[in-house]
Copies of this chain bind each other. A is one copy, B any other.
Amino acid sequence: MPDINRILDAVDCELDRSLERLFALLRIASISTDPLHAGECRRAAEWIAADLTDLGFEASVRETGGHPAVIGKHLDGSRHRVLFYGHYDVQPVDPLSLWETAPFEPRITTGRTGTQHIVARGASDDKGQIMTFIEACRAYKIATGTLPIGVTMLIEGEEEMGSKHLPAFVEAHRDELAADVALVCDTGMWDRATPAITLSLRGLVYEEVRVRCADRDLHSGLFGGAARNPIHVLSAILAALHDETGRITLPGFYDGVAELPADVRDEYARLNLTPEGFLGQVGLKVPAGERDRLLIEQISTRPTCDVNGIWGGYAGEGTKTVIPAEASAKVSFRLVGAQDPAKVRDAFHAFVRARIPEDCRVEFISHKGSPAVSVPFDHPKLECARAALADEWGKPAVRIGSGGSIPIIGDFKRVLGLDSLMIGFALEDDRVHSPNEKYDLTSFHKGIRSWVRILHALAQ
């Protein structure tokens, strides 16, 4: 085995050029959910395939039926092989007016506390994180001319829209993607100083609902008082989804939701996540979830329901005295444990239909659902990855659950039989999915170094 320090030195020497490469990727406006940006998504895929080819990977852009994916392979007949997964697509940037600098013109800024930030849409989610791994491979190649284990990379372009086409793609490429374990870099640290390995992810059910009443927009003076208003119908339905204790009222919603083991709950209590610390950073004070749960449970191991968007009637300047013909909302559920996405979707549809007046109609658009996933605490690769992270950060990595969803993780297990170690360097204040998204320069630099150590450890 080569001396790890030679490789870590290569990371440090290369950092400026590593940043230049990240900035080039961040300049590509690969917003997957907006059809107008399909060309930019393809450009991002082509950029990554070209960069991996430079690195000596056998890499190419692959069609998926939607935005393309990239597969890159660097095998050299090693007996160990990892599958690295990330995504090049990003969330929309609206409201654009709240960005202090253009979302696709990355720059380094200095935060209040003097920390340096890489600011751009995708800086943290997920382009910055992808590049920590690619740059770790580069440092290895620079220092040793090769990689210590076989690496297959799968970078997709539809994660922010539910990875629609990826399961079929993984199915079709199962042999190419075979590995011992998956490494996924789309999660975060516990805090600035404490690395984390995420062992569970919440699943997702995402539904769009449209309520239609009259067959046209109506004058609220002529029809007001007699004509059913779809905004009233929709508001009543959304308001009924939670009770006064914060519990979700869908019948059967909590089926398959397990209680935390007592020792894990104690560990969580000791992490002492406070409303001031967690909600205070975004201007809030009072946890809005189930009253009888720890804040950390509310955001990681308990299921949730959020309305992600609502629209209907007149939203322009001034006044319009209209009773609209229809009103719509996007509603999503985060799932945990053994909750069944299909059952939750059906329960939601039934809940809504039961509240639609007889002379009104409802339509649903169902987006992809995914179950929650988790990795066993005794996974053989888990401890060596934790040790590698401890070497870089000087503290043991905590084992947490993430509130977010990465739909494909479930498919890796189902189709490829792979457990996923989710290791990332994002921070809670990264403003992921929000204006002025950032990634700390430390996350990027020490993230690269962390991957070098993990690749080294996995090769033992």
State the A residues within 8 Å of B (CB): 32-35, 91-92, 94-95, 98, 160-162, 202, 204, 206, 213-229, 231-232, 234-236, 238-242, 275, 278-279, 282-290, 295, 298-299, 302-304, 306-324, 327-330, 332, 334, 357-360, 367, 402-405, 428, 431-435
A213 to B328, alpha carbons, bound, how many Å?
Answer: 21
Contact B310 A321 (CB under 8 A): no
- Enumerate chain B residues within 8 angstroms of A283, measured Cβ to Cβ: 213-216, 359
CB neighbours of A34 from chain B (8 A): 316-318
Interface of A is mostly: loop
Contact of A92 among B304, B316, B324, B435 (CB under 8 A): B316
A314 touches B308 (CB 8 A): yes
B432 touches A286 (CB 8 A): no
On whether A225 and B308 interact (CB within 8 A), knowing A239-B232, A321-B332, the answer reads no
Give which listed residue, B33, B227, B285, B329, contacts A319 with CB less than 8 A. B33
The answer to whether A225 and B299 touch across the interface, beta carbons within 8 angstroms, is yes
Contacts A231-B238, A309-B314, A330-B319; A433 near B218 (Cβ below 8 A): yes
Residue of B nearest to A162 (CB): B319
User: In the complex, how many angstroms separate the beta carbon of A291 from the nearest chain B beta carbon?
Assistant: 12
Q: A231-B238, A286-B359 are in contact. Are A221 and B334 (CB under 8 A)?
A: yes
Q: A452: shortest Cβ distance to chain B, in Å?
A: 27
The CB with the most chain B CB atoms within 10 A, among A33, A242, A279, A309, is that of: A309
| Assembled-state Cα–Cα distance A431/B313 (Å) | 16
Query: A207: nearest residue on chain B (CB-CB)?
Result: B319
CA distance in complex: A221, B323 (Å): 34
B220 and A332 contacting across the interface, CB-CB below 8 Å: yes
Q: Can you list 28 pairs linking A and B with CB atoms under 8 Å apart?
A: A92-B314, A98-B216, A215-B283, A216-B283, A216-B431, A216-B434, A221-B404, A224-B299, A224-B334, A224-B403, A225-B303, A225-B304, A225-B403, A226-B288, A227-B282, A228-B288, A229-B307, A231-B307, A231-B310, A231-B329, A235-B238, A308-B322, A309-B322, A310-B311, A311-B312, A311-B315, A319-B332, A321-B332
If A34-B317, A308-B319 are given as contacts, then 14 extra A-B residue pairs at C-beta distance below 8 Å, sorted by A number, are A35-B317, A220-B308, A220-B332, A221-B402, A222-B432, A225-B289, A226-B289, A232-B241, A232-B288, A232-B307, A235-B235, A235-B238, A310-B312, A322-B434
